[in-house]
Structure 1
Amino acid sequence: MDIDFTKYLPVAAAILSATLGYIFGIRTKKNDRLVQFTQENLKEVYSPMYHDMKKIIADSVKPKDRELMLDTFFERYIGNDTSIYKLGSLELLDTFYELNDRYGQFKLSRDEGLWKDIWWEFESNFFYKVKEGYRNSTDLLYRDFRWQQYVQTKPYWKKFYFESMKFLFETVKGINVISALLVYFSTCFKLLGLGLFPNDFWIFSLMILGLSILATLVLMLPNIQYISLTSNLKESFFRQVAKKMFPVLVVKWDNLFIKKDYEKVPKMYERRFYED
Protein backbone atom coordinates (compact mmCIF):
# COMPACT_ATOMS: atom_id res chain seq x y z
CA MET A 1 0.00 0.00 0.00
CA ASP A 2 1.48 3.33 -1.14
CA ILE A 3 1.05 6.20 1.27
CA ASP A 4 1.49 9.82 0.24
CA PHE A 5 3.26 11.18 3.32
CA THR A 6 3.46 14.70 1.90
CA LYS A 7 -0.23 15.29 2.58
CA TYR A 8 0.33 14.55 6.28
CA LEU A 9 3.28 16.88 6.71
CA PRO A 10 1.20 20.07 7.25
CA VAL A 11 -0.87 18.37 9.97
CA ALA A 12 2.17 16.91 11.73
CA ALA A 13 4.11 20.18 11.38
CA ALA A 14 1.24 22.18 12.89
CA ILE A 15 0.94 19.83 15.87
CA LEU A 16 4.69 19.69 16.42
CA SER A 17 5.18 23.44 16.15
CA ALA A 18 2.29 24.20 18.50
CA THR A 19 3.49 21.71 21.10
CA LEU A 20 7.14 22.73 20.89
CA GLY A 21 6.09 26.37 21.06
CA TYR A 22 4.32 25.63 24.31
CA ILE A 23 7.25 23.66 25.72
CA PHE A 24 9.93 26.24 24.86
CA GLY A 25 7.84 29.41 25.06
CA ILE A 26 4.82 29.61 27.34
CA ARG A 27 6.39 27.52 30.12
CA THR A 28 9.44 29.81 30.38
CA LYS A 29 7.72 32.37 32.64
CA LYS A 30 6.29 29.65 34.84
CA ASN A 31 9.70 28.02 35.15
CA ASP A 32 11.29 31.34 36.12
CA ARG A 33 8.73 31.79 38.90
CA LEU A 34 9.29 28.20 40.00
CA VAL A 35 13.06 28.69 40.23
CA GLN A 36 12.63 31.93 42.20
CA PHE A 37 10.25 30.29 44.67
CA THR A 38 12.49 27.23 44.98
CA GLN A 39 15.48 29.42 45.82
CA GLU A 40 13.52 31.05 48.63
CA ASN A 41 12.09 27.90 50.20
CA LEU A 42 15.40 26.03 49.94
CA LYS A 43 17.33 28.82 51.68
CA GLU A 44 14.75 29.76 54.31
CA VAL A 45 12.99 26.48 55.12
CA TYR A 46 14.09 23.23 53.52
CA SER A 47 17.83 23.50 54.10
CA PRO A 48 17.77 24.70 57.74
CA MET A 49 14.91 22.36 58.68
CA TYR A 50 16.51 19.34 57.03
CA HIS A 51 19.86 19.87 58.76
CA ASP A 52 18.20 20.57 62.12
CA MET A 53 16.33 17.29 61.83
CA LYS A 54 19.47 15.38 60.84
CA LYS A 55 21.12 16.54 64.06
CA ILE A 56 18.07 15.59 66.13
CA ILE A 57 17.77 12.03 64.78
CA ALA A 58 21.51 11.28 65.00
CA ASP A 59 22.22 8.12 67.03
CA SER A 60 24.99 9.82 69.01
CA VAL A 61 22.65 12.39 70.58
CA LYS A 62 21.77 11.78 74.24
CA PRO A 63 18.06 11.58 75.16
CA LYS A 64 18.15 14.78 77.23
CA ASP A 65 19.93 16.73 74.49
CA ARG A 66 17.55 15.34 71.87
CA GLU A 67 14.51 16.61 73.77
CA LEU A 68 16.09 20.05 74.19
CA MET A 69 16.80 20.11 70.45
CA LEU A 70 13.17 19.18 69.74
CA ASP A 71 12.02 22.02 72.01
CA THR A 72 14.15 24.46 70.01
CA PHE A 73 13.01 22.96 66.71
CA PHE A 74 9.29 23.39 67.34
CA GLU A 75 9.70 26.82 68.95
CA ARG A 76 11.67 28.01 65.93
CA TYR A 77 9.11 27.01 63.32
CA ILE A 78 5.94 27.77 65.29
CA GLY A 79 6.86 31.40 66.04
CA ASN A 80 5.11 34.47 64.64
CA ASP A 81 7.94 35.19 62.21
CA THR A 82 8.16 31.63 60.90
CA SER A 83 8.67 31.03 57.19
CA ILE A 84 7.43 27.43 57.34
CA TYR A 85 4.63 28.29 54.91
CA LYS A 86 7.32 28.30 52.21
CA LEU A 87 7.41 24.53 52.39
CA GLY A 88 4.67 24.89 49.80
CA SER A 89 2.88 21.71 50.86
CA LEU A 90 -0.32 21.62 52.90
CA GLU A 91 0.37 17.99 53.71
CA LEU A 92 3.75 18.86 55.25
CA LEU A 93 2.30 21.82 57.11
CA ASP A 94 -0.52 19.72 58.58
CA THR A 95 1.98 17.06 59.63
CA PHE A 96 4.20 19.64 61.33
CA TYR A 97 1.36 21.29 63.25
CA GLU A 98 -0.03 17.93 64.31
CA LEU A 99 3.42 16.87 65.52
CA ASN A 100 3.80 20.13 67.41
CA ASP A 101 0.45 19.65 69.18
CA ARG A 102 1.23 16.05 70.09
CA TYR A 103 4.69 16.97 71.28
CA GLY A 104 3.11 19.58 73.57
CA GLN A 105 0.85 16.83 74.98
CA PHE A 106 3.87 14.63 75.56
CA LYS A 107 5.67 17.38 77.46
CA LEU A 108 2.75 17.44 79.89
CA SER A 109 2.04 13.71 80.16
CA ARG A 110 5.53 12.21 79.67
CA ASP A 111 3.78 9.15 78.24
CA GLU A 112 6.27 6.71 76.70
CA GLY A 113 3.78 5.29 74.20
CA LEU A 114 2.98 8.79 72.95
CA TRP A 115 6.70 9.54 72.66
CA LYS A 116 7.32 6.43 70.54
CA ASP A 117 4.45 7.34 68.23
CA ILE A 118 5.64 10.95 67.89
CA TRP A 119 9.21 9.91 67.19
CA TRP A 120 8.19 7.41 64.53
CA GLU A 121 6.09 10.07 62.80
CA PHE A 122 8.90 12.61 63.13
CA GLU A 123 11.68 10.40 61.75
CA SER A 124 9.93 8.01 59.36
CA ASN A 125 7.32 10.34 57.88
CA PHE A 126 8.05 14.04 58.39
CA PHE A 127 11.83 13.85 58.01
CA TYR A 128 11.52 11.63 54.93
CA LYS A 129 9.26 14.17 53.20
CA VAL A 130 11.43 17.14 54.19
CA LYS A 131 14.48 15.29 52.87
CA GLU A 132 12.68 14.57 49.61
CA GLY A 133 11.70 18.23 49.24
CA TYR A 134 15.25 19.35 50.05
CA ARG A 135 16.76 17.02 47.44
CA ASN A 136 14.18 17.93 44.79
CA SER A 137 14.71 21.66 45.32
CA THR A 138 18.49 21.29 45.20
CA ASP A 139 18.30 19.19 42.05
CA LEU A 140 16.02 21.73 40.36
CA LEU A 141 18.34 24.66 41.08
CA TYR A 142 21.65 22.95 40.36
CA ARG A 143 20.77 20.36 37.73
CA ASP A 144 22.61 22.29 35.02
CA PHE A 145 25.29 23.75 37.31
CA ARG A 146 28.05 21.22 36.64
CA TRP A 147 27.18 21.17 32.95
CA GLN A 148 27.50 24.97 32.68
CA GLN A 149 30.80 24.88 34.56
CA TYR A 150 32.07 22.31 32.09
CA VAL A 151 30.89 24.25 29.01
CA GLN A 152 32.09 27.69 30.14
CA THR A 153 35.69 26.50 30.39
CA LYS A 154 35.74 25.51 26.71
CA PRO A 155 36.65 27.61 23.65
CA TYR A 156 33.85 29.44 21.85
CA TRP A 157 33.49 26.92 19.05
CA LYS A 158 33.19 24.05 21.56
CA LYS A 159 30.57 25.96 23.54
CA PHE A 160 28.55 26.35 20.37
CA TYR A 161 28.92 22.66 19.55
CA PHE A 162 27.94 21.43 23.02
CA GLU A 163 24.96 23.77 23.31
CA SER A 164 23.77 22.84 19.80
CA MET A 165 23.98 19.12 20.58
CA LYS A 166 22.13 19.68 23.85
CA PHE A 167 19.38 21.65 22.10
CA LEU A 168 18.93 18.96 19.44
CA PHE A 169 18.92 16.20 22.06
CA GLU A 170 16.28 17.90 24.23
CA THR A 171 14.19 18.80 21.17
CA VAL A 172 14.20 15.23 19.88
CA LYS A 173 13.19 13.95 23.31
CA GLY A 174 10.20 16.29 23.15
CA ILE A 175 9.37 15.04 19.67
CA ASN A 176 9.41 11.47 21.05
CA VAL A 177 6.65 12.35 23.48
CA ILE A 178 4.61 14.20 20.87
CA SER A 179 5.01 11.38 18.34
CA ALA A 180 3.95 8.79 20.90
CA LEU A 181 0.82 10.83 21.62
CA LEU A 182 0.11 11.13 17.91
CA VAL A 183 0.42 7.36 17.50
CA TYR A 184 -1.87 6.77 20.46
CA PHE A 185 -4.64 9.17 19.46
CA SER A 186 -4.54 8.45 15.73
CA THR A 187 -4.70 4.70 16.44
CA CYS A 188 -7.60 5.15 18.88
CA PHE A 189 -9.54 7.35 16.46
CA LYS A 190 -8.86 4.84 13.68
CA LEU A 191 -10.22 1.94 15.77
CA LEU A 192 -13.24 3.98 16.89
CA GLY A 193 -14.02 5.03 13.33
CA LEU A 194 -13.61 8.75 14.01
CA GLY A 195 -12.41 10.86 11.08
CA LEU A 196 -10.35 13.45 12.94
CA PHE A 197 -7.11 12.22 11.33
CA PRO A 198 -6.55 10.86 7.80
CA ASN A 199 -6.92 7.08 7.55
CA ASP A 200 -3.22 6.30 7.29
CA PHE A 201 -2.03 9.01 9.65
CA TRP A 202 -1.27 6.46 12.39
CA ILE A 203 1.30 4.80 10.10
CA PHE A 204 2.91 8.15 9.40
CA SER A 205 2.96 8.92 13.16
CA LEU A 206 4.54 5.55 13.89
CA MET A 207 7.28 6.22 11.37
CA ILE A 208 7.94 9.67 12.87
CA LEU A 209 8.18 8.05 16.32
CA GLY A 210 10.65 5.47 15.05
CA LEU A 211 12.80 8.13 13.39
CA SER A 212 12.77 10.36 16.49
CA ILE A 213 13.78 7.44 18.72
CA LEU A 214 16.59 6.61 16.31
CA ALA A 215 17.68 10.27 16.34
CA THR A 216 17.66 10.23 20.15
CA LEU A 217 19.94 7.20 20.23
CA VAL A 218 22.30 8.81 17.72
CA LEU A 219 22.39 12.09 19.68
CA MET A 220 23.15 10.31 22.95
CA LEU A 221 26.75 9.78 21.85
CA PRO A 222 27.71 13.48 21.50
CA ASN A 223 25.67 14.23 24.64
CA ILE A 224 27.24 11.66 26.98
CA GLN A 225 28.96 14.41 28.97
CA TYR A 226 25.71 16.39 29.26
CA ILE A 227 23.75 13.33 30.40
CA SER A 228 26.43 12.42 32.94
CA LEU A 229 26.82 15.90 34.43
CA THR A 230 23.08 16.63 34.68
CA SER A 231 22.13 13.26 36.11
CA ASN A 232 21.18 13.26 39.81
CA LEU A 233 21.95 9.56 40.20
CA LYS A 234 25.00 8.60 42.20
CA GLU A 235 25.53 5.64 39.90
CA SER A 236 24.31 4.68 36.45
CA PHE A 237 21.39 2.32 36.03
CA PHE A 238 23.62 -0.41 34.59
CA ARG A 239 26.06 -0.15 37.50
CA GLN A 240 23.21 -0.42 40.01
CA VAL A 241 21.96 -3.58 38.28
CA ALA A 242 25.49 -5.01 38.16
CA LYS A 243 26.02 -4.35 41.89
CA LYS A 244 22.86 -6.30 42.70
CA MET A 245 23.49 -9.22 40.35
CA PHE A 246 27.32 -9.44 40.40
CA PRO A 247 28.56 -7.59 43.50
CA VAL A 248 31.84 -9.53 43.71
CA LEU A 249 32.74 -8.76 40.10
CA VAL A 250 31.97 -5.06 40.60
CA VAL A 251 34.29 -4.91 43.62
CA LYS A 252 37.07 -6.65 41.70
CA TRP A 253 36.56 -4.32 38.75
CA ASP A 254 36.81 -1.24 41.01
CA ASN A 255 39.95 -2.57 42.68
CA LEU A 256 41.65 -2.74 39.30
CA PHE A 257 41.52 1.06 39.03
CA ILE A 258 41.03 2.34 42.59
CA LYS A 259 43.44 1.48 45.38
CA LYS A 260 42.42 2.58 48.85
CA ASP A 261 45.46 3.88 50.70
CA TYR A 262 44.68 3.29 54.39
CA GLU A 263 48.18 4.29 55.47
CA LYS A 264 47.24 7.96 55.20
CA VAL A 265 44.12 7.62 57.38
CA PRO A 266 44.63 9.41 60.73
CA LYS A 267 44.59 7.26 63.83
CA MET A 268 41.20 6.75 65.45
CA TYR A 269 40.59 8.34 68.83
CA GLU A 270 40.43 5.52 71.38
CA ARG A 271 38.10 6.66 74.12
CA ARG A 272 38.97 5.13 77.47
CA PHE A 273 36.32 6.71 79.69
CA TYR A 274 32.61 6.66 79.01
CA GLU A 275 29.94 9.04 80.23
CA ASP A 276 26.34 8.09 80.97
Structure 2
Amino acid sequence: MKPIVSSSFQSPISPSLSSIYLYTKLYHSLEKKQQQKLSSNHYISHYYIVCKLIIQPKKNMIPNPQKSSILLQRITSNNPSNCNKQSHQSLQCHTPIPCTAEVPDSVVKYHAHLVGPNQCCAAAIQRISAPVSTVWSVVRRFDNPQAYKHFVKSCHLIDGDGNVGTLREVRVISGLPAVNSTERLEILDEERHVISFSVVGGDHRLANYKSVTTLHPEPLGNGTIVVESYVVDVPKGNTRDETCVFVDTIVKCNLLSLKQIAENSSR
Protein backbone atom coordinates (compact mmCIF):
# COMPACT_ATOMS: atom_id res chain seq x y z
CA MET A 1 0.00 0.00 0.00
CA LYS A 2 1.50 3.34 -1.07
CA PRO A 3 1.79 6.01 1.63
CA ILE A 4 -0.43 9.06 1.49
CA VAL A 5 0.49 12.40 2.96
CA SER A 6 -1.65 13.18 5.98
CA SER A 7 -3.81 16.28 5.68
CA SER A 8 -2.61 17.22 9.16
CA PHE A 9 1.04 17.26 8.09
CA GLN A 10 2.69 20.55 9.05
CA SER A 11 5.80 21.81 7.26
CA PRO A 12 8.71 22.20 9.71
CA ILE A 13 10.34 24.64 7.29
CA SER A 14 9.40 28.30 7.13
CA PRO A 15 7.58 29.31 3.91
CA SER A 16 9.99 32.25 3.65
CA LEU A 17 12.89 29.97 2.74
CA SER A 18 13.93 29.59 -0.88
CA SER A 19 12.18 26.89 -2.90
CA ILE A 20 15.61 25.91 -4.16
CA TYR A 21 16.68 25.13 -0.60
CA LEU A 22 13.61 22.95 -0.17
CA TYR A 23 14.35 21.15 -3.41
CA THR A 24 17.92 20.49 -2.31
CA LYS A 25 16.69 19.14 1.03
CA LEU A 26 14.32 16.81 -0.77
CA TYR A 27 16.86 15.50 -3.24
CA HIS A 28 19.45 14.87 -0.53
CA SER A 29 16.83 13.04 1.51
CA LEU A 30 16.15 10.81 -1.49
CA GLU A 31 19.85 10.04 -1.88
CA LYS A 32 20.04 9.18 1.82
CA LYS A 33 16.99 6.97 1.42
CA GLN A 34 18.91 4.92 -1.14
CA GLN A 35 21.74 4.44 1.36
CA GLN A 36 19.84 4.22 4.64
CA LYS A 37 16.54 2.74 3.43
CA LEU A 38 14.45 5.47 5.03
CA SER A 39 10.69 5.08 4.95
CA SER A 40 8.69 6.28 1.95
CA ASN A 41 6.81 8.68 4.23
CA HIS A 42 10.09 10.55 4.77
CA TYR A 43 10.50 11.70 1.19
CA ILE A 44 6.76 11.94 0.51
CA SER A 45 6.62 14.53 3.32
CA HIS A 46 9.48 16.53 1.85
CA TYR A 47 7.81 16.38 -1.56
CA TYR A 48 4.61 17.70 -0.02
CA ILE A 49 6.53 20.73 1.29
CA VAL A 50 7.88 21.47 -2.18
CA CYS A 51 4.42 21.15 -3.73
CA LYS A 52 2.85 23.49 -1.19
CA LEU A 53 5.50 26.18 -1.53
CA ILE A 54 6.33 26.07 -5.24
CA ILE A 55 3.07 25.45 -7.08
CA GLN A 56 0.96 27.64 -4.81
CA PRO A 57 0.02 31.34 -4.90
CA LYS A 58 2.85 33.83 -4.62
CA LYS A 59 2.08 34.71 -1.01
CA ASN A 60 4.10 31.65 0.01
CA MET A 61 7.11 32.58 -2.09
CA ILE A 62 9.96 34.94 -1.34
CA PRO A 63 10.33 37.80 -3.85
CA ASN A 64 12.86 37.31 -6.64
CA PRO A 65 13.82 33.71 -5.77
CA GLN A 66 17.47 32.84 -6.29
CA LYS A 67 18.61 31.07 -9.42
CA SER A 68 19.41 27.42 -8.89
CA SER A 69 22.67 25.82 -9.93
CA ILE A 70 20.70 22.58 -10.06
CA LEU A 71 19.02 23.83 -13.22
CA LEU A 72 22.24 24.22 -15.21
CA GLN A 73 21.36 21.10 -17.21
CA ARG A 74 19.07 23.23 -19.34
CA ILE A 75 20.89 24.04 -22.54
CA THR A 76 19.34 26.11 -25.31
CA SER A 77 20.08 25.60 -28.96
CA ASN A 78 19.21 28.48 -31.27
CA ASN A 79 19.62 26.24 -34.28
CA PRO A 80 16.23 24.65 -34.98
CA SER A 81 17.50 22.59 -37.92
CA ASN A 82 16.87 19.34 -36.06
CA CYS A 83 13.33 20.30 -35.11
CA ASN A 84 10.16 20.73 -37.09
CA LYS A 85 10.99 23.49 -39.58
CA GLN A 86 7.34 24.38 -40.01
CA SER A 87 6.91 25.25 -36.34
CA HIS A 88 5.83 28.71 -35.25
CA GLN A 89 8.53 31.39 -35.25
CA SER A 90 8.22 31.95 -31.51
CA LEU A 91 9.25 28.35 -30.77
CA GLN A 92 12.89 27.50 -30.18
CA CYS A 93 14.61 24.13 -30.23
CA HIS A 94 15.94 23.11 -26.81
CA THR A 95 18.08 20.05 -26.17
CA PRO A 96 18.45 19.94 -22.37
CA ILE A 97 21.29 17.42 -22.28
CA PRO A 98 24.62 18.69 -20.89
CA CYS A 99 27.56 18.43 -23.28
CA THR A 100 29.53 16.62 -20.59
CA ALA A 101 26.97 13.81 -20.33
CA GLU A 102 27.93 10.53 -21.98
CA VAL A 103 24.80 10.36 -24.10
CA PRO A 104 25.12 9.21 -27.73
CA ASP A 105 23.90 11.54 -30.47
CA SER A 106 21.45 8.83 -31.51
CA VAL A 107 19.79 9.27 -28.10
CA VAL A 108 20.15 13.04 -27.78
CA LYS A 109 18.00 13.62 -30.86
CA TYR A 110 14.92 12.27 -29.06
CA HIS A 111 15.29 14.99 -26.43
CA ALA A 112 15.08 17.97 -28.79
CA HIS A 113 11.94 19.87 -27.78
CA LEU A 114 10.15 22.80 -29.37
CA VAL A 115 9.74 25.27 -26.51
CA GLY A 116 7.46 28.30 -26.50
CA PRO A 117 8.10 31.63 -24.75
CA ASN A 118 5.95 30.62 -21.75
CA GLN A 119 7.35 27.11 -21.35
CA CYS A 120 10.32 25.49 -19.65
CA CYS A 121 12.38 22.49 -20.67
CA ALA A 122 14.83 20.36 -18.67
CA ALA A 123 16.21 16.85 -18.32
CA ALA A 124 17.40 14.41 -15.66
CA ILE A 125 19.93 11.62 -16.07
CA GLN A 126 20.02 8.53 -13.86
CA ARG A 127 22.51 5.67 -13.87
CA ILE A 128 21.06 2.29 -12.87
CA SER A 129 23.10 -0.83 -12.06
CA ALA A 130 20.82 -3.14 -14.01
CA PRO A 131 20.59 -4.28 -17.65
CA VAL A 132 18.62 -2.19 -20.13
CA SER A 133 16.15 -5.06 -20.58
CA THR A 134 15.33 -5.06 -16.86
CA VAL A 135 14.82 -1.30 -16.67
CA TRP A 136 12.84 -1.24 -19.91
CA SER A 137 10.45 -3.92 -18.64
CA VAL A 138 9.32 -1.41 -15.99
CA VAL A 139 9.44 1.83 -18.01
CA ARG A 140 7.60 0.50 -21.07
CA ARG A 141 4.40 -0.24 -19.13
CA PHE A 142 2.29 2.76 -20.10
CA ASP A 143 -0.62 1.10 -18.28
CA ASN A 144 1.27 0.77 -15.00
CA PRO A 145 3.24 3.94 -14.15
CA GLN A 146 2.55 3.42 -10.45
CA ALA A 147 5.04 0.53 -10.53
CA TYR A 148 7.78 3.09 -9.90
CA LYS A 149 6.07 6.48 -9.68
CA HIS A 150 5.22 6.80 -6.00
CA PHE A 151 2.92 9.78 -6.46
CA VAL A 152 0.58 7.90 -8.80
CA LYS A 153 -2.34 6.39 -6.92
CA SER A 154 -3.94 4.53 -9.82
CA CYS A 155 -3.99 4.32 -13.60
CA HIS A 156 -6.36 2.86 -16.15
CA LEU A 157 -6.49 2.91 -19.94
CA ILE A 158 -9.45 4.83 -21.30
CA ASP A 159 -8.79 4.28 -25.00
CA GLY A 160 -6.42 1.98 -26.86
CA ASP A 161 -4.56 -1.21 -26.07
CA GLY A 162 -1.11 0.06 -25.16
CA ASN A 163 0.08 1.04 -28.60
CA VAL A 164 0.93 4.59 -29.73
CA GLY A 165 -2.16 6.79 -29.37
CA THR A 166 -3.42 5.00 -26.26
CA LEU A 167 -4.97 7.27 -23.60
CA ARG A 168 -4.65 6.70 -19.87
CA GLU A 169 -6.10 8.42 -16.81
CA VAL A 170 -3.69 8.79 -13.92
CA ARG A 171 -4.86 9.71 -10.43
CA VAL A 172 -2.32 11.05 -7.93
CA ILE A 173 -2.11 10.59 -4.18
CA SER A 174 -3.94 13.06 -1.94
CA GLY A 175 -2.22 16.14 -0.58
CA LEU A 176 -0.69 17.19 -3.91
CA PRO A 177 -1.73 20.17 -6.10
CA ALA A 178 -3.40 17.87 -8.64
CA VAL A 179 -6.17 15.28 -8.87
CA ASN A 180 -5.83 13.47 -12.17
CA SER A 181 -4.15 13.63 -15.55
CA THR A 182 -5.17 12.35 -18.98
CA GLU A 183 -2.13 11.28 -20.97
CA ARG A 184 -1.48 10.02 -24.50
CA LEU A 185 1.27 7.61 -25.54
CA GLU A 186 3.29 9.34 -28.27
CA ILE A 187 6.26 7.00 -28.79
CA LEU A 188 6.88 3.38 -27.83
CA ASP A 189 10.04 2.14 -29.55
CA GLU A 190 10.83 -1.34 -28.25
CA GLU A 191 14.04 -1.61 -30.27
CA ARG A 192 15.59 1.75 -29.32
CA HIS A 193 14.03 1.83 -25.83
CA VAL A 194 12.23 5.14 -26.18
CA ILE A 195 8.89 6.05 -24.61
CA SER A 196 7.11 9.40 -24.73
CA PHE A 197 3.77 10.70 -23.52
CA SER A 198 1.95 14.01 -23.49
CA VAL A 199 -0.65 15.38 -21.09
CA VAL A 200 -3.88 16.18 -22.90
CA GLY A 201 -6.25 16.88 -20.00
CA GLY A 202 -6.98 16.54 -16.31
CA ASP A 203 -7.17 18.53 -13.08
CA HIS A 204 -3.63 19.82 -12.53
CA ARG A 205 -1.37 22.81 -13.30
CA LEU A 206 1.05 21.20 -15.77
CA ALA A 207 -0.56 22.15 -19.08
CA ASN A 208 0.94 20.87 -22.34
CA TYR A 209 3.39 18.64 -20.51
CA LYS A 210 5.38 16.28 -22.74
CA SER A 211 7.94 13.76 -21.54
CA VAL A 212 10.51 11.65 -23.40
CA THR A 213 12.41 8.84 -21.69
CA THR A 214 15.29 6.95 -23.30
CA LEU A 215 17.41 4.04 -22.09
CA HIS A 216 20.86 3.12 -23.35
CA PRO A 217 23.70 0.94 -22.03
CA GLU A 218 26.36 2.72 -20.02
CA PRO A 219 29.68 2.99 -21.90
CA LEU A 220 31.49 0.75 -19.41
CA GLY A 221 29.81 -1.99 -17.45
CA ASN A 222 26.40 -3.63 -17.61
CA GLY A 223 24.32 -0.77 -16.30
CA THR A 224 21.74 1.50 -17.89
CA ILE A 225 21.64 5.25 -18.42
CA VAL A 226 18.12 6.67 -18.24
CA VAL A 227 17.48 10.13 -19.67
CA GLU A 228 14.12 11.80 -19.10
CA SER A 229 13.41 15.22 -20.58
CA TYR A 230 10.26 17.32 -20.60
CA VAL A 231 8.66 20.53 -21.78
CA VAL A 232 5.72 22.16 -19.99
CA ASP A 233 3.82 25.43 -19.75
CA VAL A 234 4.77 27.76 -16.89
CA PRO A 235 1.63 28.10 -14.72
CA LYS A 236 0.21 31.56 -14.23
CA GLY A 237 1.74 33.14 -11.13
CA ASN A 238 4.91 31.05 -11.24
CA THR A 239 8.33 31.51 -12.83
CA ARG A 240 10.25 29.14 -15.09
CA ASP A 241 12.66 28.27 -12.29
CA GLU A 242 9.84 27.49 -9.86
CA THR A 243 8.14 25.29 -12.44
CA CYS A 244 11.37 23.45 -13.28
CA VAL A 245 12.14 22.88 -9.60
CA PHE A 246 8.68 21.37 -9.13
CA VAL A 247 8.83 19.11 -12.19
CA ASP A 248 12.48 18.18 -11.59
CA THR A 249 11.45 17.01 -8.14
CA ILE A 250 8.81 14.70 -9.57
CA VAL A 251 11.08 13.35 -12.31
CA LYS A 252 14.06 12.72 -10.03
CA CYS A 253 11.91 11.06 -7.39
CA ASN A 254 10.56 8.73 -10.07
CA LEU A 255 14.01 7.92 -11.45
CA LEU A 256 15.40 7.14 -8.00
CA SER A 257 12.46 4.82 -7.40
CA LEU A 258 13.04 3.18 -10.80
CA LYS A 259 16.71 2.69 -9.90
CA GLN A 260 15.83 0.96 -6.64
CA ILE A 261 13.23 -1.32 -8.22
CA ALA A 262 15.38 -2.32 -11.22
CA GLU A 263 18.49 -2.96 -9.15
CA ASN A 264 16.58 -5.04 -6.61
CA SER A 265 14.98 -7.17 -9.33
CA SER A 266 18.31 -7.82 -11.07
CA ARG A 267 20.04 -9.16 -7.95
TM class by smaller structure: under 0.3
TM-score normalised over the length of structure 1: 0.22
Query: Which has the greater radius of gyration?
Result: 1
TM-score normalised over the length of structure 2: 0.23
More strand by share: 2
More helix by share: 1
